[in-house]
Every structure is written in C-alpha cells, then in structure tokens.
Chain A
Amino acid sequence: MKKLLPLALGIAALATGSIASAGTLDDVRSNDVLKCGVSTGLAGFATPDDTGEWQGLDVDTCRAIAAAVLGDAKKVEFVPLTSKVRFEVLKSGEIDVLSRVTTWTLTRDVGLGLNFAGVNYYDGQGFMVSKDLGVSSAKELDGASVCVQTGTTTELNLSEYFRLNGMTYEPVPVETSTEGRAAYSAGRCDVYTTDASALAAQRTGLTNPGNYVILPEIISKEPLGPVVRHGDDQWFDIVKWSHNAMLNAEELGVTAANAVERSKDANNPAVQKLLGTADAGLGKQLGLSEDWALNIITQVGNYGESFERNVGVKTPLGLERGMNGLWNDGKTGIQYAPPIK
C-alpha cells in the first residue's frame, strides 16, 4: 500500500496534466467561501440553531477567518466532521481549516503533518459523579465503572491516570455524547469522563443536574484550537493572526460595538495598528486587506464577546473564564496573544 500510493498519485497527476495546487488563500478567494470543518454538534462550540445557523466558539473562529480573508463572516461553508474522519478530510484538502475542539499534541502537530494555529479554548479532562456516590476526589474512584468516548485522547488519559494512581476501573465505551449521557443516566457507569467543558454540557442534560458534581481534579491538558495543513505558511499565518486579533481586541477593549469608532482614535497606536488605520501595512504582509481585523471585530466580536455569547456564565453551559481569561486579568487566565505591530 505504501508503495502503491505515490505511484497511484503520480499516475493520477499525470493523467490530468498535473494541476498544481494553488495556495489555500487563493483557493478560498476563488471559491469565495471558507470551508471550515466543525463538530457535528457540540453545545457551545458548534451546533446549528433552530434556524439552521451554526453557533459556537469554534464556529466563531471560522467566521473570524472568513471575515479577515473575504470581508464577510457569513461566507463560511461548515463541514460537520466526526472525530474519526477530521484529520483525513483536512489533509485531503476538502476543508481549508479544521476548527473542531481538537487537542494540540506533538503527535498530531508533527506526526500527522498539521499546524495548530493557536488555542481558542483551554480545556482539561474531568470527572462527573452523582452526589449519591459520596465521592469528593477522583483519587477515591478505585474500581469504578467509567463511561468514556472512544477514539479520543480522553480514553488514553483515563487509563494513564488510573494506572499512575494505582487504581483500577472498568471502561464503558460510548460512541457519542448522546449515547454517553443515556448510558450514564441509565446507571451503566458510576463516572462520566470527558473534557470539562463537555461535562458541563452533559450535566445540563441530566434529569436532575443539581444531583451531579464535577470533581476538582483535571487530569489532562487539552488546548483546543484551529488546525491547518503543513506546507502553506501564509495560510497558517492568516489563521493564527485571525485568532490573535480577537484576543488583542479584547485586551485593548475593542468590541464589535465600538470598533469603528475606536479605529478613528488617533491617540492609540496599538488599536490603530490592529484595526488597520495606522497605515502600517500589516494586512498587506498577511496578503489581506488592511481592514482584516476590523472586519473580524465588527462582524464576530472580540474573544471575550465570543466566549460569553457561546459558553460563558450567562449561557446554560455556564463556564467560567478560568484559564481562558486574559493573561492580565489578575486571576488564572492564560490567554496571551503576541502583539499586532
């Protein structure tokens, strides 16, 4: 198979007179739409709402890139992907960017030939148990049956954590979060484990959410972010800086509502550079128009706005900023974007 593949590729390329792949940026421009891989449905990160519009934190990342490149945050074609096919679909070039709660790891970054363009959500794996179990720490879970989604890093973390702590567990593999919740509420497992953000979503769906606690231990680092293919540095830069622009905007207090007004503020060079009014030619360096970041902020909002709209404390998910606060919020925030200048 390994020998056949390049051969077949060669033949295929010859047969069609070898169409050279233009850069992703050119592809997106000529299609006039950004093809963005998202979850098939994950509360707060990517779900279609009642009118069929996609909503969520990952969706906003897609929209931001579309706003930067095409000037219109609506020009996104969302491609719902399962966790099994996501990397193959990205690598085969069917999507331009993957924004699908994907954990940044060395194997994926290097081994799979991908580039992670930043972290739009710092997550970590946690445990949810029923209060009736009387457990207050994950260290007391010896011998428990654990519902865990297959084919994810979650499974691996779980077995490592239990082994390191000298505990045993009985895995109850589930395929989807819906199946997981059904298995959990039917009592097929004592513990439900997945990323903490997803646990919060799962808890709201249980019959009596108040009866369940999420244990304090977070057993893994799950930095989630947008992913692109190796080999197109310009596109990698665009995705990376689209995300950074949202973070910088929040840090500078630029919001969707005040962005246009702030862009005229001659006293603040940092804001002017971000919003393209400083005549610094930053957009040109990216291969974009000068108002690229202004489009992101006016059409999608800054990172904080996107966070609060999709997963924040006022939403049913009710997630605290926590690690996803800005680095200078004086609390536990670690979201830190390099400056735009």
Chain B
Amino acid sequence: MFSISQDFAPPFKLISPFFILGSLFYLLASVYIFFFTSDNFFIQDTKVLAFVHLFLLGFVMMVIFGAMAQLVPVVLEVGHAAVELFYVIWPLLSIGTILMVVGFLASPSLLPYGGTVVLISMMIFVMEIFSTMRNVKKMNLVMNSVLISNTFLFFGVIVGLTMALGYAGIIEVDIMALLRSHVYLVIGGYIIITLMGLSVVLLPMFGLSHGFSMKPLTISITLMSISVVMVVISSFVEYLLIEYIAYSLAVLSLFLYFYLVYTIFKTRARKEIDIYAVSLMYAYISMLVALVFGVSYLISGFEPLIIASAWLMFFGFFGFAVTGHMYKIIPFLVWFERFSPLVGKEKVPMLADMLPKRSSQAQLVFCVAGVTVITFAILLQDDTLIKAGASFLVVGALALVRNVFYMINYK
C-alpha cells in the first residue's frame, strides 16, 4: 500500500510554467510551418532540424518534464529527491531550445551553446529522477520503463551535444552516423518508452480499465530498447542488417504497444468520449498510420512517405497524446491546489467543469484538420496545402494556449 501525500505533490507554480511554455512553443512550431515548402522535405534540411527541435524540445519535452514532476511520485510511489530543481529546468530548456533553433536557422556557432544549455537542463532532470529512484524499494515494470527511458535520454543528449559541436566546426565527427543514434536514443528511447510506461498508468486510470494483460508492454519496451541499442551500434559498425533488424523491432514494438492500448480501450468502464478520449484516439491512429507509412517507405523508398511518417509521429501521435493529457493533468493540479482544501466546506467544481468545452473542441478540430491536411501536403508535395494545413494548426494552437490559461486561472 502506498499513498501520495501532500508533500509528494509539487506546488502548481513549479509546474505551470512547463505547460504555459509548452503551449507557446506548440504555437510557435505551428506558425513555423508557414515557412516550409516541399523543397525542405528532407531530413538534413536545417529548417526541418530547427522545426524538430522547436517542437520536440519546446513542446513535447517541456510538457513531459512538467508532467513528470507530478507523475513521478505517482508512478514511483516515493516523493521527489529534490523537486525544487524543476524551477531551473524550464528556463534552461527554453533558452537552450531557442538558441538551438536560431543556431540551425542562422548561426551554427550558437548550436554548442544551445546544446550545452539543453544538456544541463536534461541532466538536472535525469539526475533528479535517478536520485528519486534510489528511494524506490521494489521496482515494477513502469518504474523500469522510467529507468530505461532516462538512461537513453542521458546518452541521447550527450550524442546531441557532440553533434552540435560538429555542426559548429569545433570537432570533427560523422554527423550522419551520430544523427541516427541521437534520434533513436531521444525519440525511441526516451519519448516513446516514457509514453509507453506512463500510458499503462494513465489510460486505465482515466478510463477505469481493468483486466487487461501487461505482457504486451513488457515485450514492447524490451523490443524498443533492443532496437535503440542496435541502432546506436549500427552508427559505428557499417552493417546494414543490424540497422534493418533494429527498424523491424521498433515497428513490431509499436504494433504491440498499439494492441495493448486497444485492449485498455476495450476493457474501459468509462465509455464517455470526451476531449481526452478523442485526442488519444487521434494520437494512436496517427501512430498506426505513421507505422504503415514507415514500412511502406522501407519497401518503396519513396522519400515523402518517411517525412509524412515522421510528421504523423510528431504532431499526430506525440502532439495529441500530450495535449490530451494536458486536459487531465492541468485541471487536476489546479483543483488539487485551489479547491481540495474547500472540500466539505463549500461546493467545489468537478474536474470536467474546469475545461473550456467549446474552445477545447475547437483546438481538437482545427489541429486534427491541420495535421491531416499537412500529411496530404507532404505526400503530394503541395506547397498550397502546407499553408492551408498550417492555417488550421495555428488556429488550433491559439485555442490550446487559450485553454491552458483558462484552466490555470479557473476560480
């Protein structure tokens, strides 16, 4: 038996900047898409690299880090070792992200500085998590996923900084070889394994699911971990087979993970289709389509397929998985801080009352339209469709920023 004491729950003022900044970076990333044309659609394009860092560091990682401040005690069943460190993580991550984006776009000499600042913020995060884990008495699958994902993040950031030094011309490295390791360590190793681990806690909690098997998760995390390690090895050993086996394992891992999510969805008692449920459905459908596109690319070699796959993985899967959870986590934290002391003394709102209904629906509809239109734009190499999709996304992103402020200021 365990309990989450008041001491375990970090103060909201510590976590709220992560959500505010995350939503603002999401808006910036959406606006940024206007400056893309189909000529930019290859992985090493500096515009693409700037965009990926803006979105993944500024939005995805920022919100995940903020959410982890709240979720780590829930998942690890112990209090944070030094939760105050989160006060320095968001400023460093914001500054580092901006320096890296500007570095990629205009001034490569800024990249090592941006990379170092990001490295410091992530090392503080990783070390805080590792310190917290030292107090865990008995590890379970979800706790192991936190340990594995943060270990991959540790190495992924170091590889990233090495690349930044290479870009700036300070050291000589094979950037293409390191790029694969960096992408896989951070995206496959950290973001995806973190989402896998957290989703078996959060999806059943909000959907009241029971009786599903955890075995697919064990296999998914194992396969993804092996895949990440093999990709890293393939960066240094010229052997194509290792790389292809690694990709196959990653695809298999994600298909199994999708099956797990499906069983959680099927066994849920709470059938209500709210903004959270729809966001998550779109996220997982995006992931499935991204996988199909990825496999199709490996067979056909048609470059837009892999770009569309990455787009759907980032803005579709990560984007909606994160925004969907923001509609659960932010109201809870505000309620916990502002209304829980009033329980039994006066009427308090339900968590669902704290959501801006129409505005959250607008965010969902416009973002779904934006992501879908841009997927077609990438596949058809159509510049006009890119602008059309970006227009939808910007409106959706503005709604997201508005919703975050609405929930934070709910009284």
Q: Do A and B bind each other?
A: no
Binding site for B on A (CB under 8 A): none
Contacts from B to A (Cβ < 8 Å): none
